[in-house]
Amino acid sequence: MNTNSLKNERMAERYCALIVGVIFLILGIAGFIPALVTLPGETDLSYIPPGVAHNAYSLGFGYVFGLFPINFFHNIVHAAVGVLGIASYSSGSSARIFNRFFVVSYIAIAIMGLLPFTNTTFGLMPIFGNNVWFNALTAIAVAYYGTIIPAKTTDAGVQRSI
């Protein structure tokens, strides 16, 4: 393996972590800006049943950009994931660890969002609705750009890269 291909592999992983970090940091900060959060019931898209709304969502519940259900804790989690992604850009090994942890965690979160008894993360934060497909698509994108593309760059094979 030559040094140039190793550098390309590391840069692909690093940029993947950086882009995910920036997206999640923007989502986390946007959740704290009232002008970007739609309150439940203002539109048909943001309606949730009253029996569900009082449990986990009393503190800062709304829909960021009118699409993704969030609350105060969810905003903190998004911002923390964003900061970790941006910080992991500093080296190839930390970006690889971040990407792998992100993929496993966010696939699990997407699956939890599909199950009725876990779609509120046991009363902590909402992971239903548009959050499910967003979490699944970002996890799939990070798996591809953070693991498969770097493995193809070095001809190491995906199995060896994982």
At residue 62, the pLDDT reads: 86
- The answer to which of 16-20, 84-88, 127-131 has the lowest mean pLDDT is 127-131
**What is the distance between the alpha carbons of residues 33 and 147, in angstroms, rounded to a whole number?**
34
**What is the distance between the alpha carbons of residues 15 and 20, in angstroms, rounded to a whole number?**
8
Residues 6+ apart with CB under 8 A from 42: none
Categorize the per-residue pLDDT at 25 as very low, low, confident or very high, splitting at 50, 70 and 90: very high
At residue 101, the pLDDT reads: 95
Residue 126 has φ and ψ, to the nearest 5°, of -80, 130
At residue 117, the pLDDT reads: 84
Q: Which amino acid is at 136?
A: A
Residue 47 in this model has a pLDDT that exceeds 60: no
Q: Which amino acid is at 32?
A: F
Residue pLDDT, tens place only, 94-137: 998 999 999 999 999 999 999 988 888 877 888 988 999 999 99
Residue 119 has φ and ψ, to the nearest 5°, of -75, 0
| Cβ proximity of 12 and 5 under 8 Å | no
Range of the domain at 130: 3-161
At residue 7, the pLDDT reads: 62
The Cβ-side half-sphere exposure at 131, using a 13 Å CA radius, reads 30
Categorize the per-residue pLDDT at 86 as very low, low, confident or very high, splitting at 50, 70 and 90: very high
Q: Which amino acid is at 152?
A: K
At residue 135, the pLDDT reads: 95
The pTM for the full model equals 0.82
Q: What are the structure tokens assigned to 62, written together? A: 């709304």
Question: Domain count of the chain?
Answer: 1
